[in-house]
Structures are given as structure tokens and as C-alpha cells.
Amino acid sequence: MTVRKKKKTAAKKGGSAKRAPRKVFSFGGGKAHGKADMREILGGKGANLAEMSRLGIPVPSGFTISTEVCAEYNRLGGRLPATVKKDVLKALSAVEGIMGATFGDAKNPLLVSVRSGSRVSMPGMMDTVLNLGLNDETVQGLADRVDERFAYDSYRRFVQMYGDVVLEVDHDRFESRLEEAKRERGVSLDTELDGQALRELVAEFIEIVEEHTGQPFPQDPREQLWGAVGAVFRSWENNRARTYRRLNDIPEQWGTAVNVQAMVFGNMGDDCATGVAFTRNPSTGEKAFYGEYLKNAQGEDVVAGTRTPQPINAASRTRDTQHLPTLEGEMPKAYRELVRIYKKLEKHYRDMQDVEFTIQSGVLWMLQTRNGKRTTQAAVRIAVEMAQERLITRAEAVQRVDASSLDQLLHPMLDRDAERHLIARGLPASPGAAVGSAVFSADRAEEKAKAGEKVVLVRIETSPEDIHGMDAAEGILTARGGMTSHAAVVARGMGKSCVAGCGDLQIDYGSARMVVGDAVVEEGDIITLDGGTGEVMLGKVDTVTPELGGAFSDLMRWADRIRKIRVRTNADTPQDAKVAREFGAEGIGLCRTEHMFFEPNRILAMREMILASSVGEREAALAKLLPMQRGDFLGIFRAMEGFPVTIRLLDPPLHEFLPRGDDEIRLIAESLGSNVAVVRAKAESLHESNPMLGHRGCRLGISYPEIYAMQVRAIAEAASEAVELGLKVKPEIMIPLVANPGELKRLRTLAEDTIQEVREATGVSRLRLAIGTMIEVPRAALTADAIAEHADFFSFGTNDLTQMAYGLSRDDAGNFLVDYVSTGILEDDPFVTIDVEGIGRLVERAVELGRKVRPGLKLGICGEHGGDPRSVKFFARAGLDYVSCSPYRVPLARLAAAQAAIEMAEEPARRSKKR
Ligand code: ADP
Ligand code: MG
Ligand code: MG
């Protein structure tokens, strides 16, 4: 019924069949066209302004021009479609109605802000213009209604922002003029400039603009509005925004929305303020309302670092702000209102919020809310505590933490007990330790990091232009700015250590050095940051692995209960195995044996073995290696007690073990009782022009069965010894590089015979050893049914599988893959994230073929991909039994596996909902 009715009205009104989709969305006065889940077309800021409005939270009214218009604007070569302009003017008059003021009116002018806002927040990337609608006439109206100082302070800000953002006048020209004006009048803060001074400053600012553009400063508010809207749309294309998108994988085509919103004023006097706050501590995750504000200020003043912001409450105090009054103390009514609203927002969004607010004459207005960026540590704690508070479910908590960020928590922190030469202290803006040589510009940071040096970027304050340097640095140190400054926010997002607002630093970019007390730090000097305490140390401070208790272990426990796929580790030593078990590994998926041969006393025996000219000589050399290998394996079995341990037989090309230089050759000749010329000739004959496709993996076992026999014997003997010691062992022998079922058949027989010999010799008849293969040659994947006849398990070696099936050299692709990623041909490096469409299909095919022949076939993956969250999700879907990754990535894989299980469980539900 209702549908028909609507159709009629539409037909009556427009006459045309379909109404064009809405492109301008109003909000304010407790209503809104948009809502929170419309961020794709309204951008995050616009969607949340609409949502807050609907919730009855005080938001100055305004409207959002949708992200679709951004593409249209840029397609039309910088022009707004006429229909959009019409809708904008209509929405503007609605705002005028609500606010009781008129845009451009000389007596009672409505002023607006023009704010960018894309689908995901891009801090500081896009530009905002405040106080738009001011001109020589309306400023007088404002002065008459309030006072001259306020009117010209607003006008000064407007001309500066409009000049900078829309007309592209160098921002520093305004700043240095402002500094000069303060100096001339002997004041240090912009709030101390009186109306007269500001009036003069405005005139000079306008002059600066006109000199730059050669045109009069636009006085027509509508012209100003179109100018600012266009500039926001254009800013989507600027370099800072591009860099940020590239670093954060944000698609070009998303575009930004534009929000036009009635101004509220935090700069109208001492009962006014502007501030930012987090509903929980974004650095530690502690459940404490946390924020900063400035009195008699506007917009970005809080984060710009021009004045030291005050803490909103006692919990937000830092060492430097100990003595300052709080918002709670100074404006208790507005503070109480803020508390009421933040609680409502957190409950409504069910996540930690990052809010912006302004207080005009004691009345609170909310200007933004969004899910707050946080450190990994905070993410874990907040997710777990919100689940405990029953605000979210445990499954949601598991999904809240970005798996790939988890290993940040496991990396070393500064050793509490290590000696440290403290030179300064700033704000603990983003935790973790950073050690590196000091550099004072983003370009130098990038340069040195590219050359392999670890650097700490030191800046007076950072701006979006510094992003590439921040990305290259281990940590960031700034002299100015608070916990919500650019440096702090960006560093937390990147998971890097940051000490901000370290006022004692005297940084001189010109000579690339800084002075702190009586210490002088030149470019290249090593410094250490502790982002958890805000300490800055001269020289390198020792680090330790952090303890992982509390929230982290809760989250991991929940993840373990949810996930279906097991997580093992790649470990070659008992030490690695121990670390991995502490991180929750459930066995070893790949124990490489080649590393065991590189110790000085072993490599000699290894070389003798390779260069021996008879089976007898080879066996003699192998006999020396046998006890060493047995000892290695016993150590690993002990460390992994009760869990499976997959040991891969010798894999690398022989030439990796060949002697280099005359001295090494002579040594071997002596030890073999042979002569130098013979050994050299033999070594040369083993040279290969394409070793990765050459004599390696099981091909060695085919040519030199004694090698594999020795290794299998060492494994079997170690396992027997372990059994006799009362240990539970589950050894798995893995044969690498199989391409043909015949290889596996032959080597399996060899292994079984050897194991039988050991059984008879030791009398340990209970010995169970699984024998399986790696699937890493494409041919093996395609003939997996035939191969499965001889295998108890498959383990996908996705590094080699990618190399061979893609025809991409693992060792050389780094040089050109970047071009593929930057041109968009590839979304990811296929050695980092599995290429689902290509290599993934080989995996799926092999799983299907293998299980057809042997339903109980155990399946795992042991390539680097086992530690990549997106790849882990693919393997979970493909039905593997486990993934195996490096020890530090085990927790990350556990979490990603749980997230995969949740996603898979949700899918059928979602599908049926759609129907
Ligand atoms: P960003 O995306 O960089 O945070 P915003 O669009 O949020 O930029 O604007 C920056 C700041 O400008 C806000 O935090 C707020 O303090 C101020 N601001 C924006 N719009 C208004 C407004 N209508 N009234 C008062 N202040 C505003
Ligand atoms: Mg903002
Ligand atoms: Mg391999």
C-alpha cells in the first residue's frame, strides 16, 4: 500500500518516473537524512554527525554532500553539477531556519564550517575551513552582536584557512605574520591580541592573499562556499592524501564527502572552549575518560600545539599538566554533559570513541565522533574489557583486534633494569621501544632507512608532509604537541613508538642537531625512546620481551576456543620451539635441518660428505654427523613434548655447502686424505647455473640415499631415546620438493627400512613415525592423488609453490614487485599474501585430490604465508588442519584463525538473510 502511495506522489510532483538519488543530506535539530551505516556515501564524519543528531545529541545543524559528488566534481574538471548546487542552497536555508541566522546577512550572519570526511578517517589529510560567510560587512554584524575581538579573531582565522586551503597561499606566510604581530605588541599568545590588533592583522592577511592570487579576496559568501566545497573535493587528490591512501590501502575511487555545518564558537571568551577526548585511554586501553581542551580557542588549536592544552579531568593529567586546572573544575556543567554524552556514544557505537567538542558560552556542542584509533595494546584491553562488560560478545572482541598488528606486542620493550642515560622526558604518546640514529627530516629518515639504518625521526612537530619519514622510522620524537597531536595519532596508527611534546628539546633543522640540557645530539647519534613512559635516552638501551598476561591471554583463550584450524610453528632449534610454545604453538610444522649443518665443526663434515668420491667416504663423513643430528632432534622433541614435530629432510641445493676459496678446499682435502686438485675439480663439477631448480630437495635423496638415511636414522634414534625417557613424541618425516609419486615411493621405502632397523636395534617397537611430503612443485599439486598414495600428510610449501607456479624468483622479485603493486596490477606481494586466484587454486586442487585418495590425510602449510592473517583465513577456508609460522607470529595466526572461523560461521546466515 505505502509503496503505491509514494509512487503516486512522485509521479505527481516530478512527472518523471524515478526521482534522482539524494546527494545532499541534512542533519540537525534531532533529525537527519543520513545515519551511521551510510559512511560509504556520507563519509565517516557525515554519517556520525547524522547519527548523533538522531540520538538527540547537540550537534550544530548542517548537511553533507555525498562522496559520489566528489567523483563527479573531478570528472567535470572541477565543477559542481547544477542540481547539486540547487540542493545545497535548499539545505542551507534549512540550516538558517534552525539556527535563526542568515548566510551573508549583514546584521545576523550565519557562519559555517566546510569539512572534509571520507569513508575511513584520514587524520590531518584533508582540509577544513571554519567561519565561512565572513566578509568586511558580516564581520561588523558579528562585532556588534558579540564583540570586536571575537569577530576579528574569527575573520582572521577564516582568511587564513581560506587562503591556505582554497587559494593555496603558503601557510607559513600567515603564521610568521601572526608571530610578528604578537612580537610587536609584546604578547606571547594569540588570545592576548585585542580587537584592534586583529582587525589590522585581517587587513594584512587579505593583502597577502590578494598579492598571491592577483584577485580581490572573495567577499560573496556563496562564492566562498563554492570555493571551499571545491577545495575539499580537490584535496582528495593532493599528495598528502595520496600518500596516506597508499600507506593504508585506501582505494582512489572512494572520494570524500563535504560537510557544511553551522559554526559554534569556542573563541567567544573564557566560558568557551574547544577540545578532543577519547572515551578510553587510546594508549593503554584503560577505562578512563581522557582528553584535552583549550579555553577561548577554535578548531585545531588543541592539536596544533600553539598553547599547552589543559586536561579535561584529573585522569588526563600528565607530568607537564599536573598544575593546570581541568574542564571538570572550570566548567563543571559542560563537563557533566560531556560525560553523559560520551557514555551514551560508547554504548551506542559499542566501541571506544574519539570525540571533538566545542563549548560556546558554557553550552556543549558535539562536532565529531568516530571509533578511536588505538595502540594494539589498547585494542586488546578495550576489546576484552568491553566483552567483560557485556557491551560486545567474545566473538566480537576477537574480531576487534587487527591480527596483523599483534606481533607488535610481542616485540622487545626496554629492559627496566638496563642502565639508561635519560636526557629528556615528553608525553608517552605511543608505547614500545625505538632505538636508532637521530634524523631531523622525513627525507633523511627515508634515505637512511632505505640504506638499512635504523632511525628515530626528531621533529619540532610533525605534519602530514612527514608521513613517509614516519613510516621509515623506528620511532618519532617531537618537541611540541600533545597526546592527540599529529605525531601521536599517526604513530599509534602505525604501531610505532612515539614521544611527543618534549618541550626541553631545542631542535635546529639547519645544522641537523638538537640540544637538550647539556647534551648535544647530532644527526646519526643513537638515541632510544620509550613510548610507554615518554623517556628519551642517549645511546642504545637494552630491550626485553614483554610479559603477556591479562587481557592478551584472555583474548587468546577465546580465540583458541573459536578457531577450527591448528597453529604450529616453524622452528629449527629448541630455543625457537620454547618461545613458540609460550606463544601457544601446537607443534612444529617445519623444522629445517640445513641450518644445523652450518656450525664450523659440522660444515666440515658436511663438505666432506658432499665432496667424497665414494660411498664409503660419504658414509664415514655422515657417521660424524649422525650423533650431532640425533642430539638436535632430541632437544626439539623435549621442547615440543606431546606435540607433533615435522622434520624436513635436507632441502637446499648442494652448492650452498660447497667450500669457498683455497683454504677451505685444502682443509677438506686434508681431512678426506685426498689432494687439492681433485677436491677443487669435484667442487666445480657440482656448480649449477639454476640451483633453485637444480639438485636439491628429494633429488639429493635420490642421488645420495645415505644422506636421507642418516637423517631418518637420527630422527628415529632420537625419538626412541625420548620414548625411553618417558617423553611423548610425535615425529613426522617430511620429504621436500617431490614432483613425481615415484620419488616419494622410493624415499618412503628407504625411510621405512631405516626406521625398522632402528626399531630392531633399540627394541623400542612402539615407535610411530609419520612420513609425508611437501607440496611445493606445481606438478605435485596437480598429481596430488597419486602422491597421496605414499603420504601420511601434505604440507604446502607456498614459498616455492608461488615461485614455481608464478615463475617469480623469490630472491629477485623484490626489485620489481613494487612496480606491480604501485600500478595496481597486483594488490599484494604474492610472497606475503597468498595469491588466492592462482596459487590458491593449486592448493585447493591438491586438497581435493589428496583427500579423495586418503580421507584422513593431514594437511598443513609451512610457508611464510602461515603468518599472514589474510592467508591464514584462506587456508582455514581451504580446509587445512593447521598453519605453521614463525614463533612471533603464532598469536597472530591463532587470532586470524579464530576470525576466519567467525566469518565462515556468519556467511550462511548472511546469505539466507539476503534471500
Ligand atoms: P579533521 O577531519 O581534520 O579533524 P574537522 O572537520 O573535524 O577536521 O575540523 C577540525 C576542527 O574544526 C574540529 O575539531 C572542530 O574543532 C572545528 N570545527 C569544525 N566544524 C566546526 C563548527 N561547525 N563549529 C565549530 N568548530 C568546528
Ligand atoms: Mg575532526
Ligand atoms: Mg621449499
State the ligand closest to the CA atom of 652. Answer: 3
List pLDDT tens digits, range 252-261.
889 999 999 9
Region 160-165: mean pLDDT is 94
* Entry pTM: 0.82
How would you classify the pairing of strands 363-371 and 353-360? antiparallel
Per-residue pLDDT at 546 exceeds 70: no
Cα 847 to chain centroid distance, Å, stands at: 32
Region 156-164: mean pLDDT is 95
Q: How confident is the model at residue 909 (pLDDT cuts 50, 70, 90)?
A: low
List pLDDT tens digits, range 328-344.
999 999 999 999 999 99
Is ligand 1 within 6 A of the CB of residue 263? yes
Name the residue with higher pLDDT: 737 or 688: 737
Cβ pair 402, 428 in contact under 8 A? no
Q: Which of helix, strand or coil describes residue 401? A: coil
Name the residue with higher pLDDT: 561 or 826: 561
Q: How confident is the model at residue 5 (pLDDT cuts 50, 70, 90)?
A: very low
- Provide the percentage of residues in the chain whose pLDDT is more than 70: 95
Is ligand 1 within 6 A of the CB of residue 130? yes
Rounded CA-CA distance 262/92 in Å is 9
Q: Is 272 a catalytic residue?
A: no
Q: What is the pLDDT of residue 910?
A: 56
- Provide the percentage of residues in the chain whose pLDDT is more than 90: 68
List pLDDT tens digits, range 611-651.
888 888 889 989 999 999 999 999 999 999 999 999 999 99
Region 724-745: mean pLDDT is 97
Of 272, 486, 502, 698, which one is the catalytic site residue?
486
List pLDDT tens digits, range 550-561.
899 999 999 999
- Ligand 1 atom closest to the Cα of residue 368 is 7
Q: How confident is the model at residue 12 (pLDDT cuts 50, 70, 90)?
A: very low
Atom 9 in ligand 1: which residue has the minimum CA distance?
A: 128
Atom 12 in ligand 1: which residue has the minimum CA distance?
A: 299
Q: How far separated are the first and last CA of the chain, in Å rounded?
A: 22
Name the residue with higher pLDDT: 48 or 808: 48
Q: What is the pLDDT of residue 914?
A: 42
Q: How confident is the model at residue 17 (pLDDT cuts 50, 70, 90)?
A: low
Cβ pair 73, 28 in contact under 8 A? no
Distance 773 CA to ligand 3 centre (A): 11
List pLDDT tens digits, range 231-277.
999 888 888 888 888 877 788 889 999 999 999 999 999 999 999 99
List pLDDT tens digits, range 649-701.
999 888 878 887 888 889 888 888 888 998 899 888 888 888 889 999 999 99
Q: How confident is the model at residue 871 (pLDDT cuts 50, 70, 90)?
A: very high
Distance 296 CA to ligand 2 centre (A): 18
Region 840-848: mean pLDDT is 98
Distance 51 CA to ligand 1 centre (A): 17
Region 500-517: mean pLDDT is 92
Is ligand 1 within 6 A of the CB of residue 115? yes
Region 827-838: mean pLDDT is 91
Q: What is the pLDDT of residue 10?
A: 42
Q: How confident is the model at residue 11 (pLDDT cuts 50, 70, 90)?
A: very low
Region 338-359: mean pLDDT is 98
**Residues that place a CB less than 5 A from ion ligand 3:** 776, 797, 800
Is ligand 1 within 6 A of the CB of residue 118? no
Strand partners, 26: 63
The H helix count followed by the E strand count for the chain is 35, 34
Q: What is the pLDDT of residue 9?
A: 44
Is ligand 1 within 6 A of the CB of residue 375? no
Q: How far are the Cα atoms of 310, 603, 704, 714 from residue 613, in angstroms, in the given order?
A: 80, 17, 12, 24
Per-residue pLDDT at 506 exceeds 60: yes
- Ligand 1 atom closest to the Cα of residue 116 is 6
Q: What is the pLDDT of residue 3?
A: 40
B/e letters for 646-677, b = 16+ CB within 10 Å, e = fewer, are bbbbbbbbbeebbbeeeebbebbbeebebeee
The three-point CA angle 277-282-288 to 5° equals 65
Q: Is 486 a catalytic residue?
A: yes
| Mean pLDDT over each residue of the chain, to the nearest integer | 91
Is ligand 1 within 6 A of the CB of residue 28? no
Is ligand 1 within 6 A of the CB of residue 326? no
Rounded CA-CA distance 706/700 in Å is 10
Q: How confident is the model at residue 18 (pLDDT cuts 50, 70, 90)?
A: low
Q: In terms of Cα–Cα distance, which of 620, 658, 795, 630 is closest to 719? A: 630
List pLDDT tens digits, range 118-138.
998 776 556 789 999 999 999
